[in-house]
Amino acid sequence: MAKIPAYLLNLAGEYRVCSELNKRGVFATVTYGTRKGVDVYAISDRKTRALKIEVKTSQKKNFVTSLSQKCDDDPNSDGFWERRAADEQAPDFWVLFQIRPIANSSFAERFFVLTHKEICNAQCTRNSAYGQKYLSNHGKMPDFSTGVDNVVIADIERYEDQWDKIVAAIGGPALA
């Protein structure tokens, strides 16, 4: 089965995340436009709180986060990841959605739900391992600001289907 084109893949991921949250009693909606700063908003039942959710969708075993590339700080400096994790502009949550075509025109799906701090920690761990390997091969640390940050399934597997984090943060499911 052919791969899903990138523009449809991203939309599929955003709509699937909204669907999963709506099934759990959380009103969630996709944001539109070329200047959007977030993919999905989850809105509390009383409309007193909105959570920003970044969605990354992949057909592979890795997810591009671009965390180092989205900021002006030096990713090699002390405290970089602490500042990145505390960024007020950052999404509240990241949902990484893996979709893979399987037989009979259907798909295997996996969701990984992380707080912004959790994704920063996972990316820091991934970059540290890569940096040490690069240092031993090249005698210097890589410039992460020019690369493409990503995490792999093994980095985030423990966060699979942790939707309760978003449900709790929004104040629980919608009242019946």
Q: Which residues contact 29 (CB under 8 A, 6 or more apart)?
A: 18, 40, 41, 43
* Alpha-carbon span 107 to 161, nearest angstrom: 17
Give the model confidence (pLDDT) of 33-52 as tens digits.
766 788 999 998 877 889 99
- Tokens 């240092």 locate to 135
Task: Name the amino acid, one letter, at 106.
Answer: S
Q: What is the pLDDT of residues 123-159, one digit of tens each?
A: 989 998 998 999 999 999 888 878 888 999 999 999 9
CA distance 65 to 45: 30
CA dihedral 20, 88, 116, 37 (to 10 degrees): 50
102 versus 96: which is more confidently predicted?
96
pLDDT at residue 35 in the model: 65
pTM for this model (two decimals): 0.88
162: confidence class by pLDDT, cuts 50, 70, 90: very high
Q: What phi, psi does 138 have (nearest 5°)?
A: -120, -10
pLDDT at position 163, please? 97
Reference 57, options 36, 35, 32, 40; nearest CA is: 40
Residue 54, judged by CB atoms within 10 A of its CB (0-12, 13-18, 19+), counts as buried
Q: Nearest-CA neighbor of 60 among 11, 118, 3?
A: 3
